[in-house]
Structure 1
Amino acid sequence: MLEPNINSQTINNNLSNNIYLQALNSARSGIIITDNQQPDNPIIYCNTAFENITGYSHNEIIGHNCRFLQSQDRSQPARQIIKDAVKNGEECVLEIRNYKKNGSLFWNELTISPVKDIDGTVTHFIGVQNDITDRKRHENEMREEKASVEKKIVERTKELHDNEAFLSSIIQTVRESLLVLDADYKVLSANTHFLNSFKVTTEDTIGKILFELGNHQWDIEALKVLLTKILPTNNPVIDFEVEHDFPYIGKKIMLVNAYRVEFEGQYKDRILIAIEDITDKKEVDRRKDDFLSIASHELKTPLTTIKGFIQLLERMVPKDSSEKFVSTLGKVSIYVDRLNNLISELLDTSKIQSGNIEIHKDPFDIDKLVHDTVENLALATPEYKISINSDTKAIILGDELQISQVITNLVSNAIKYSPGTDKVDVYCNRVGNFVKVSITDYGMGISQQDQTKIFERFFRARDIQKKFPGMGIGLYICHEIIANHNGTLWVESEIGAGSTFNFTLPIMQS
């Protein structure tokens, strides 16, 4: 007789949970929940409004500490207030500068409230944020006197007018095609580089609609969408790639940057367009990728044969062989393995660039993978103390070999770039519907400038280039593998204070 009551209670609980989630996602305020019982107090839930306010997707938010919204603006006193409130388990209300995914600043009115269990221990924090950028802007505008603003506009307009000839001469010397359009997309000016590159004259260009130039050869659909739909929103267009086959000069690949500028007076509503011809650069990159692919394949076959002969020699070493002979043979084997790993990375890079990387997804135990991978590395480097904390009991749907490759690369880097230390920490935990794997070293650290580029292909930090060999493709491969598994990979580091590389993977739902 109890079973119907139990099922009814379960249904009521599920119904209540759905209502609560709908209520949170209907809120106009951004809401997050962090887990204070996990290291670094990571975000485990965010509502739809939080994603809309910050511009980040759910997958890019989960697992991060809230401080990632401050980007590099870390000297704000409000950050210390938040840190103290979290440390003391207290509520706080403050205003703080945050940055959206596209880098734009927004002011955040933030309320942080602790959640405690029956013993009074803080288990979670709830953060509620509202975008008050408009309010801050209006407050700032009200503090400025109207006369002062008008004076600045007049001065600026006069300055632009006086310097028009000077700026025009500078534009003509730029080795990049530059156009100035009015609000109706009529060409007001074109520099010499544009005229020479696209084989047109001033008479055929100035005063004409951009899309009608050269017998409509600039009537490019992608360019038209850029100018007619994107620019009116006042958002600049950065590095927009356009490919077009021109009747007179052939196929071109162009990188377009466009800005809509609003001034008072005769300069009102101008569109500035910079066009860079990257056709040759693209061809060089393609040839380089083809070379890497061909060279890697050609080197792989003889290297495999050499490795086989070395293994055969190791099994056939005479009993009376000298210690020097055995040692030399062992070193040869080690360096062949290193060369083999390098060629494998080049092959992986080539596959990623061509879109031919293969992913064989099957369910696997992430805890077992982390333990097995790290323990193998620990055996190879007994002088390092590698601690492992992984008990998520989570199943991941993915390519087990590729995820093991990521962990191996990150732990190996932690060892390689931590001279003078002997400790590496590997931590794996649940954050919402994801697992988060963190590899922490206590080595040299990475500058803020290099952190923005560290996952690019062939990029190597300047300090690292001088001290450590490498090609700068390991982290690029890791980043692409995690991205192909619907996760994110990021780094948190300070010079001289070590680095923590984190990545998330979605948990397989039963």
Structure 2
Amino acid sequence: MLIEQIIVSFSIPTDNYCSSMTDGFISGGGECGALIRSINWAENPLGPLDEWPQSLRTTLSILINSKFPLFLLWGPEYICFYNDAYRKSLGNDGKHPKAMGQRGKECWAEIWDEIGSMLDSVLQQGEATWNEDILLPIYRNGHIEDVYWTFSYSPVKDESGKVAGVFVAVAETTDNLRVLNELNESKKELEFALNAAELGTWDLNPLTNKFTCNNRLRRWFGLDTESNIDLNIAIEAIIPKDREKVKEALQKSLDHETGGHYTIQYTIKNAKTGKERIVKARGKALFDANNVAYRLNGTLQDITDEIMAQNAFKESEENFRKLILQAPVGMIILKGEDFFVEEVNDTYLKLANKERKNFVEKPLWEALPEAKSLGFEHVLKKVMKTGIAHYGNEQNITTIKNGKKETTYINYVYEPLKDIDGSINRIMVVAIDITDMLESKRKIQDAEERARLATAAAGLGTFDLDLRNGQMATSERFDEIFGFDRHVVRSAYTSVIHPDDREIRINAHRRALDVGQIYYEARVIWKDQSIHWVRVEGKIYYDADHKPLRMLGTAMDITQQRQAKEELIQINQRLEIALETGKLGSYELDLRTQTLKLSEQFYKNYGLKSEAVLNYEQLLNFIVPQQKEAVIEALNQAIANGNVYEGEYQISWPDQSLHWIKESGKAQYDDHGNPISFIGVSFDITETKQLQQQKDDFIGIASHELKTPVTSIKAYTQVLERMLLKKGDIVEAGLMKKMDAQLNRLTSLIGDLLDVTKVNSGKLQYNHTYFDFNEMMRFAIEELQRTSEKHQIKEDLQEIGLVFADKERLSQVVTNLITNAIKYSPEAQQIIVHSSIEGENILVCVEDFGIGIAEDDLNKVFEQFYRVSGNMQHTFPGLGLGLFISSEIIKREGGKIWVSSKEGKGSKFCFSIPRARANDY
């Protein structure tokens, strides 16, 4: 409309202005202005320039000097004018330059049908038109081109006010539309790609904290359809444990120094359905000139299936690895051209006689070089190349075990493992040790022959019953077992079964048709009316339709076994009577069900009525709390090691009275070595314990009372010895010295008796102080060295340092051990005392080279009053209490004491105490 107003304002007729116009109105105008000036307009329907109306002149002056593409169609023949800006749209080798001054219909012949009517409408009605992105093909650049235009047709009036021409403001939009179409196409492709990839898109304005997303993302988040929401609402869709890391990642991406990249994986939960998705977000922040982020957008990908697939793959790989490690056959995975050992199980290592540390994560030929010499390399390469498995049977392998050659036979397979893409980069080797199977096969063949001989030797009779017709073939021994001296019909065999047992036989045959096996024991009556027991066992064989065909089996005369069983029952009954007479309670514990079978006397020993129902846990609760854990530990150790359990402990009866129980028992095991039951007996030793306490009290009192007179006698002896020496009575003084030595022995014995009574009553005193451990050791060694001229006591002492313990008690232990070593090595000349730190413990050993101890007696040396038995017991005096006292002292210090010995070679007594406790300063 602005162009129309300009044209109208310049079209007002003024005679003075018109009379003075020249061709200056088309001066300038670039190429098109020069073109207009060059045309001989006298030959044109418009006529010479000086005859042109002022309205035309003014319009052309505006047109040719405008930088906007303009076109003018003048007069009824629509004579064409255009400027340089429009000339570009005419291209080369086309309408330009002849279009200038040409009739419109001739110039635009190819599109006149489209534009002619529009031009006529403007010319006739005087109203402007507007057309946007109209396709109007034109001839240019040597051919017809599809060209898009946006243009306006505006009426141009002459001096009389009549519409004389059409002023065209035009812009070619072909390139714009092409770009727009390409953008639209790109957008469609992007949308297609997003849809195909099932991606959600999102956009965040960091300045307003507003968040927008596409419909897919709204569905995932469970959001309403609003286009803009607060970021915090979207954050709420993220599971709580992932929210902080998402916030941190968002904040980091808005920092210009990070490059604005945003990549993170997290889990979202639909606010409406509760469905969870694992998603991966990618985005990029945009920054302004001040490096402030003003936009962050990106995509969100649902990777739930991918993650689950990855987890499933990892789980599958882990299960595969566990399968290999736990497989009962040898398995190994080899990878790559070097056959790198990726995984191997213990069964394979045992088969190859290799250690894991020298095998895994190494090439096979380095871990198992002998396999290469056997030709396995060629086979493995062939499997890796062809992908065809290789099988080997009864391959013999020679290995060195315990310094001896052993030959093992294996069946093996080299199985290629394909990757997802079908390529082969790994081989699974499965090796099965068939040495035992081959040996078993040979044994079976031998056994079959022996079975034929053993059947007769064992007195077994055999039978073959045809279940289709009832015919039965029997051996001679079978006939004898049933009391016949020849083969008879089947009914004759069944007729001799005891009337009371015939139902047993019938039920066994019926059951055999269901389970495929027959077993029963029954009595048969021979012709002489003697009764015999028989055991019949057999198996049914079927045809392809699982119909029973034959029953094969054996018969055995078990008359003697049944008689023995009856006798055993009677013996057990007598044993029960004997146990009850001796007040021995018996029990049987089922270790699988923890149920108990208790004798009448066992109930009495626990102060219970016989109708009481107990399980194992309830029985253990009778033991006093301070002893319960030790009893359980000892029982478990006996069961685990297959040893006899022996123990003494206190129990509390229902009436709260305390009683002492002595118990012994042993576990029974199945064919696989698994414990199934524990059988034991118990005895109430409360009275014995009371007598023992009385004895200990008496010994304690007697020892205490003896100590004073012995001390006095010792003093008198020493005085008499000195007096006799002064008188020169050397012989009598020597007797006094010997008497003093005997008094020292008596004092030591009294001291041991006192210590034993204190140990048994828990009253042995301990005084813990800090002291130098090796200094204590050296003092004890020096004191004992003075008493023994024959033996040299050698020190092998490592630095221990200060310890916190009872110095006198530990010195007592060391003294006891060295004294014993001297006593029991009369022919030896050397005793070695060792001390060292072993891990968390202080270790002390006293080694002698004397008579040694029998292996059967090693577990008794630390018991009360134990002494060397046999011919030597009178050679070495003493009460046998020193080692018992030493053992109790070491236990009190939290340590342990033990002995290793060989008869005739000597003994080595050792004890250890915790280092941490000893060095607690």
Compute the TM-score of the two structures, normalised by the length of structure 2: 0.34
Of 410, 419, 428 in structure 1, the residue corresponding to residue 826 of structure 2 is: 419
Query: Measured at CA, do residues 333 and 424 of structure 1 come closer, stay the same or move farther in structure 2, by a change above 3 Å?
Result: same
After superposition, residues 466-481 of structure 1 pair within 5 angstroms as 466-481=874-889
Instruction: Supply the distance in 2 between the matched residues of 1:449 and 1:381 (Cα, whole angstroms).
Output: 30
After superposition, residues 169-318 of structure 1 pair within 5 angstroms as 169-174=574-579, 175=582, 176-179=584-587, 190=599, 205=610, 208-210=611-613, 221-222=621-622, 238-239=646-647, 241-245=649-653, 252-257=659-664, 272=679, 274-317=681-724
Deviation at 1:508, TM superposition (A): 1.2
Classify the secondary structure of the residue corresponding to 1:457.
coil
Instruction: Supply the distance in 2 between the matched residues of 1:184 and 1:491 (Cα, whole angstroms).
Output: 37
Classify the secondary structure of the residue corresponding to 1:439.
strand
Instruction: Supply the distance in 2 between the matched residues of 1:374 and 1:338 (Cα, whole angstroms).
Output: 19
Residue in 1 that maps onto 2:903: 495
Query: Measured at CA, do residues 221 and 431 of structure 1 come closer, stay the same or move farther in structure 2, by a change above 3 Å?
Result: closer
Residue in 2 that maps onto 1:168: 573
Instruction: Supply the distance in 2 between the matched residues of 1:495 and 1:298 (Cα, whole angstroms).
Output: 40
Instruction: Supply the distance in 1 between the matched residues of 2:636 and 2:798 (Cα, whole angstroms).
Output: 48
Gaps of 5+ in 2: 1-345, 348-353, 359-433, 448-516, 522-534, 536-560, 640-644
User: Could you tell me which amino acid in structure 1 is paired with residue 876 of structure 2?
Assistant: F
Query: Measured at CA, do residues 271 and 453 of structure 1 come closer, stay the same or move farther in structure 2, by a change above 3 Å?
Result: closer
Deviation at 1:291, TM superposition (A): 1.2
The answer on whether the counterparts of 1:453 and 1:459 sit within 8 Å (CA) in structure 2 is yes
Instruction: Supply the distance in 2 between the matched residues of 1:315 and 1:274 (Cα, whole angstroms).
Output: 62
The answer on whether the counterparts of 2:756 and 2:885 sit within 8 Å (CA) in structure 1 is yes
Deviations 1:353-388 (A, max 9, x none): 111111111111122122221122112212222211
Query: Measured at CA, do residues 508 and 310 of structure 1 come closer, stay the same or move farther in structure 2, by a change above 3 Å?
Result: same
Question: If each structure's strand is expressed as a fraction of its own residues, which one has the higher value?
Answer: 2
Residue in 2 that maps onto 1:504: 912
Deviation at 1:461, TM superposition (A): 2.5
Deviation at 1:407, TM superposition (A): 1.4
Deviation at 1:314, TM superposition (A): 3.5
Residue in 1 that maps onto 2:775: 368
Instruction: Supply the distance in 2 between the matched residues of 1:347 and 1:234 (Cα, whole angstroms).
Output: 33
Residue in 2 that maps onto 1:57: none
Deviation at 1:501, TM superposition (A): 0.9
My pick for the range that moved more, 460-469 or 293-302, is 460-469
Deviations 1:50-101 (A, max 9, x none): xxxxxxxxxxxxxxxxxxxxxxxxxxxxxxxxxxxxxxxxxxxx99xxxxxx
Query: Measured at CA, do residues 282 and 141 of structure 1 come closer, stay the same or move farther in structure 2, by a change above 3 Å?
Result: farther
Residue in 1 that maps onto 2:766: 359
Instruction: Supply the distance in 2 between the matched residues of 1:328 and 1:449 (Cα, whole angstroms).
Output: 42
Residue in 1 that maps onto 2:743: 336
Residue in 1 that maps onto 2:169: none
Query: Measured at CA, do residues 341 and 110 of structure 1 come closer, stay the same or move farther in structure 2, by a change above 3 Å?
Result: farther
Percent identity between the aligned chains? 27
Deviations 1:206-258 (A, max 9, x none): xx34459xxxxx999416999xx9799998575363434577xx864333456
Query: Measured at CA, do residues 467 and 112 of structure 1 come closer, stay the same or move farther in structure 2, by a change above 3 Å?
Result: farther
Query: Measured at CA, do residues 180 and 347 of structure 1 come closer, stay the same or move farther in structure 2, by a change above 3 Å?
Result: closer
Residues 1:486 and 2:894 aligned together:
yes
The answer on whether the counterparts of 2:648 and 2:660 sit within 8 Å (CA) in structure 1 is no
The answer on whether the counterparts of 1:293 and 1:347 sit within 8 Å (CA) in structure 2 is yes
Query: Measured at CA, do residues 194 and 438 of structure 1 come closer, stay the same or move farther in structure 2, by a change above 3 Å?
Result: closer
Residue in 2 that maps onto 1:325: 732
Query: Measured at CA, do residues 196 and 238 of structure 1 come closer, stay the same or move farther in structure 2, by a change above 3 Å?
Result: closer
Classify the secondary structure of the residue corresponding to 1:364.
strand
Classify the secondary structure of the residue corresponding to 1:319.
helix
Of 861, 874, 886 in structure 2, the residue corresponding to residue 454 of structure 1 is: 861
Gaps of 5+ in 1: 1-93, 96-108, 114-138, 213-217
The answer on whether the counterparts of 1:423 and 1:442 sit within 8 Å (CA) in structure 2 is yes
Q: Which has the higher contact order (CA 8 A, sep 6+)?
A: 1
Deviation at 1:274, TM superposition (A): 2.4
The answer on whether the counterparts of 2:624 and 2:652 sit within 8 Å (CA) in structure 1 is no
Aligned residues: 356
Instruction: Supply the distance in 2 between the matched residues of 1:112 and 1:385 (Cα, whole angstroms).
Output: 47
Deviation at 1:315, TM superposition (A): 4.0
Deviation at 1:467, TM superposition (A): 2.2
Classify the secondary structure of the residue corresponding to 2:783.
helix
Deviation at 1:299, TM superposition (A): 0.3
Query: Measured at CA, do residues 368 and 242 of structure 1 come closer, stay the same or move farther in structure 2, by a change above 3 Å?
Result: closer
Classify the secondary structure of the residue corresponding to 1:429.
strand
Task: Give the RMSD, CA atoms, in angstroms.
Answer: 4.7
User: Could you tell me which amino acid in structure 2 is paired with residue 441 of structure 1?
Assistant: D
The answer on whether the counterparts of 1:394 and 1:435 sit within 8 Å (CA) in structure 2 is no
User: Could you tell me which amino acid in structure 2 is paired with residue 319 of structure 1?
Assistant: K
Classify the secondary structure of the residue corresponding to 1:427.
strand
Deviation at 1:177, TM superposition (A): 2.5
Instruction: Supply the distance in 1 between the matched residues of 2:776 and 2:607 (Cα, whole angstroms).
Output: 60
Instruction: Supply the distance in 1 between the matched residues of 2:861 and 2:435 (Cα, whole angstroms).
Output: 38
User: Could you tell me which amino acid in structure 2 is paired with residue 254 of structure 1?
Assistant: I
Deviations 1:90-133 (A, max 9, x none): xxxx99xxxxxxxxxxxxx99999xxxxxxxxxxxxxxxxxxxx
After superposition, residues 69-88 of structure 1 pair within 5 angstroms as none
